[in-house]
């Protein structure tokens, strides 16, 4: 066990972290040089320094594989096509850069997100009306620009006050994509989002997702990363007023050579808000690398905050590396509860032997363990079509390792 | 009527430092209905024998044979051996976090029986067997062996024995670490399995105390990787009196 935590065990849930000895991993929670709340943000890419790779924000990312998204050399020579399919109550608009709503949910916090914000030509705005519960989920499909091409994109999903909606954000295809995705959840509104990164093998995708919750708003934000060569998704949640409730779920499955990075930031600046983070990842094959960063900041004004974050990783074969860095900063003593936990375990030969010694075949044993591992998250995905598709995708991933 | 034959079995353990020979020619034949106690001091290779038969990847058979009704067990995968009718109750059962006991038991029973047991019968069967072994119902929802006490793990090994009904069961120090009550419960479980199934049992133990509850037909003394003496129950009494001294040259008691 490695003790972690900057400000743990303030009240309630507490903190725990564990790692098997023989797993290449890092579970750490070093005191950062500066508060997460002080990180530079801006819409203009030129205001950011070109990262070299040592910065806190970039230290786990293989910079060479970013194909120049971070240093200005990735010129947009393609388009990421956005198709929206949904119930008739929703409004879909294609707007230009001048639209005053863009940027409302948050400001880019790294150079790639700023590059995307400075480079996109058109944005897609999807609005679910207020005081209405949508009968079925909307699907926003982003198709990559194609192999060897680069695109910058922008999508904004809005739910007007007291509306209820579910949106599947589906990323498919090839190429290099950087984008910002905004979720503007109005007062008293409820939004369920599942962002699926189901890219082709060649794809590079760097995405900042801005989650803005109004008063008493509820947002369930689920990130599922399966495909791609390099995928880096940074969801940031902010509360505009009190009473907000955000659940951030994640499921990732990295194969040989894939880099999957999820950087979360929950900024509690308002009182009486809740956040609950649960990310689970599995790794298999040589060079599979996952990174999970969970920054939670409870500012002085955020009294009665209730937050918990958990990351678990399952290393299925040799040669994978899971980095997991929870970081909880608390600036007020008046909170309901705050805690974090992180653990990386290995599906080892002993477990495999034990299951097999009871007659269970190897591939089934592996499936049993992985299904059980992801079950908790899959059950929380309340869009049945997506859940079934993910179950099938996970089975397919498992087929791959047994092949 | 089934037969498990172990013929001149040599096996090594594979470690980071290299391989080390542990089994130095084991010969033993067990028939259905027979209980053979294997008694030996710590480090004599008893667990290695059980792992080699079950097919643990850390142990390499260098020569010899293991035949189940004439079929070469050593050529089978670990899971195939179990489906062929072998069962190993481990000295140190493995924790499998995340997989519930009920899911695990059902998967195992489905694999060994060749078809999924009918749900209604299955639930009752598991409940009955758990009851007999004094296992609380809540264990069905817990992860396999995770956080179980030593005694709870051993009871669950016997639960699996009673559900999977193998032709041959190897019980590796199932009695170790059990208190008096638990030893009774576990022994009863083994005896019931014996009565209801025409199975052969290899009962590995360090101490003679379980043999007072589970009566063996044959007793074998195991030392330095092989059987050095075979006899009836009286051999266990001799060991209890005099320890392993005359077989190993070391004064190690066989009495707790
Ligand atoms: N996994 C292992 N790694 C290293 N040495 C081992 C391993 N398993 C067994 N041995 C060695 O093999 C010998 C026999 O061990 P074991 O079969 O466990 O004996 P027993 O069950 O009779 O106590 C011992 O010397 C032990 O140290
Ligand atoms: Mg042993």
Q: What are phi and psi of B166, to 5 degrees?
A: -75, 165
* pLDDT, average across residues A323-338: 94
Would you call B58 and A349 a contact, using CB atoms and an 8 Å cutoff?
Answer: yes
- Residue B79, chain A, CB below 8 Å: the answer is yes
Write out pLDDT tens, residues B84-129. 999 999 999 999 988 999 999 999 999 999 999 999 999 999 999 9
Q: What is the 3-state secondary structure (H, E, C) of A67-130?
A: CCCCCCCCCCCCCCEEEEECCCCCEEEEEECCCCCCCCCCCCCCHHHHHHHHHCCEEEEEEECC
Cα–Cα dist B67/B78, whole Å = 14
* pLDDT, average across residues A322-327: 96
- Domains of chain B, earliest start first: 3-248 (3.40.50.300)
Write out pLDDT tens, residues A242-252. 999 999 999 99
Q: Closest approach of chain B CAs to the CA of A131, in angstroms?
A: 41
Cα–Cα dist A199/A146, whole Å = 11
DSSP code of residue A271: S
Which one, of A279, A294, A302, lies nearest residue A328 by Cα?
Answer: A294
Residue A28 confidence (pLDDT) above 70: no
Q: Give A20's pLDDT tier (boundaries 50, 70, 90).
A: very low
Q: Give A21's pLDDT tier (boundaries 50, 70, 90).
A: very low
- Residue A372, chain B, CB below 8 Å: the answer is yes
CB-based neighbours (< 5 A) of ligand 2, an ion: B 46-47, 91
Cα–Cα dist B169/B203, whole Å = 8
Q: Give A397's pLDDT tier (boundaries 50, 70, 90).
A: confident
Residue A203 confidence (pLDDT) above 70: yes
Q: Give B208's pLDDT tier (boundaries 50, 70, 90).
A: confident
ipTM, two decimals: 0.96
Q: Describe the crossing of helices B101-113 and A349-356 by its angle, rounded to 10 degrees.
A: 50
Residue B240 confidence (pLDDT)? 87
Which one, of A168, A224, A163, lies nearest residue A190 by Cα?
Answer: A163
Residue A61 confidence (pLDDT) above 90: yes
Residue A173 confidence (pLDDT)? 98
Q: What is the 3-state secondary structure (H, E, C) of B40-93?
A: CCCCCCHHHHHHHHHCCCCEEEEEEEEEECCEEHHHCCHHHHHHHCEEEECCCC
pTM of the model: 0.81
Residue B255 confidence (pLDDT)? 66
Q: Give A345's pLDDT tier (boundaries 50, 70, 90).
A: confident
- Residue B102, chain A, CB below 8 Å: the answer is no
Residues 6+ apart with CB under 8 A from B86: B4, B53, B54, B68, B73, B166, B167, B168, B169, B170
Cα–Cα dist B171/B213, whole Å = 14
CA separation (Å) from A68 to A45, A51, A253, A260? 13, 11, 25, 18
Within 8 A of B77 by CB-CB distance, chain A residues are 356, 362
Write out pLDDT tens, residues A64-97. 999 999 999 999 999 999 999 999 999 999 999 9
């Amino acid at each position: 066990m490695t003790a972690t935590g900057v400000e743990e065990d303030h009240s309630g849930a507490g903190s725990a972290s564990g790692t098997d000895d023989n797993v290449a991993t890092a579970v750490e929670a070093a005191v950062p040089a500066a508060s997460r709340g002080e990180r530079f943000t801006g819409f203009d890419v030129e205001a950011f320094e070109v990262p070299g790779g040592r910065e806190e924000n970039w230290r786990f990312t293989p910079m060479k594989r970013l194909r120049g998204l971070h240093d200005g050399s990735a010129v947009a020579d393609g388009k990421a096509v956005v198709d929206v399919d949904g119930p008739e109550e929703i409004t879909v608009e294609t707007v230009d850069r001048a639209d005053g709503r863009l940027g409302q949910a948050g400001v880019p916090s790294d150079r790639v997100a700023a590059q995307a914000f400075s480079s996109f030509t058109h944005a897609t705005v999807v609005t679910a009306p207020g005081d209405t519960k949508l009968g079925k989920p909307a699907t926003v499909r982003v198709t990559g620009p194609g192999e060897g091409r680069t695109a910058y994109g922008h999508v904004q999903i809005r739910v007007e006050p007291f509306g209820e909606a579910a949106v599947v954000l589906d990323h498919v295809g090839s190429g290099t994509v950087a984008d910002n995705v905004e979720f503007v959840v109005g007062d008293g509104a409820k939004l369920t989002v599942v962002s699926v990164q189901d890219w082709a093998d060649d794809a590079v995708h760097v995405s900042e997702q801005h989650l803005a919750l109004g008063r008493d708003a509820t947002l369930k934000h689920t990130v599922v990363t399966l495909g791609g060569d390099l995928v880096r998704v940074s969801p940031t949640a902010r509360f505009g007023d009190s009473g907000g409730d955000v659940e951030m779920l994640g499921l990732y499955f990295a194969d040989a050579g894939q880099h999957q990075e999820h950087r979360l930031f929950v900024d509690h600046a308002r009182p009486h808000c809740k956040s609950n983070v649960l990310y689970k990842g599995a790794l298999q094959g040589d060079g599979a690398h996952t990174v999970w960063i969970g920054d939670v900041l409870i500012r002085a004004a955020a009294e009665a905050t209730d937050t918990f974050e958990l990351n678990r990783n399952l290393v299925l074969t040799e040669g994978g590396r899971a980095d997991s860095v929870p970081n909880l900063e608390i600036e007020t003593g008046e909170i309901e509860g705050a805690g974090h936990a992180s653990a990386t375990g290995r599906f080892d030969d002993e477990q495999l032997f034990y299951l097999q010694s009871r007659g269970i075949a190897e591939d089934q044993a592996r499936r049993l363990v992985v299904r059980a591992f992801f079950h908790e998250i899959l059950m929380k995905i309340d869009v049945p079509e997506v859940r079934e598709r993910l179950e099938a995708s996970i089975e397919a991933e498992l087929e791959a390792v047994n092949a | 009527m089934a037969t498990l034959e172990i013929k001149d079995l040599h096996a090594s353990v594979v470690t980071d430092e290299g391989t080390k020979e542990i089994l130095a020619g084991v010969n033993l034949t067990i028939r259905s209905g027979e209980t053979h106690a294997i008694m030996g001091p710590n480090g004599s290779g008893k667990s290695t024998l059980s792992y080699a038969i079950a097919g643990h990847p850390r142990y390499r058979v260098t020569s010899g044979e293991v035949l189940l009704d004439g079929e070469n067990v050593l050529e089978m995968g670990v899971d195939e051996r179990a489906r062929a009718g072998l069962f190993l109750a481990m000295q140190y059962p493995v924790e499998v976090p995340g997989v519930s006991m009920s899911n695990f038991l059902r998967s195992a029973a489905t694999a060994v029986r060749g078809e999924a047991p009918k749900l209604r019968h299955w639930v009752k069967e598991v409940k009955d067997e758990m009851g007999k072994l004094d296992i609380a119902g809540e264990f069905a929802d817990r992860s396999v062996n995770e956080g179980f006490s030593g005694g709870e793990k051993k009871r669950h090994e016997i639960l699996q024995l009673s559900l999977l009904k193998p032709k041959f069961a190897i019980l590796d120090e199932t009695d170790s670490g059990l208190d008096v009550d638990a030893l009774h419960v576990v022994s009863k479980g083994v005896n019931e399995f014996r009565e209801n199934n025409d199975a052969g049992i290899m009962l590995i133990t360090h101490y003679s105390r379980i043999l007072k509850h589970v009566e063996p037909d044959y007793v074998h003394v195991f030392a330095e990787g092989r059987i050095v003496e075979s006899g009836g129950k009286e051999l266990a009494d001799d060991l209890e009196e005099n320890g392993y001294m005359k077989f190993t040259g070391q004064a190690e008691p066989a009495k707790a």
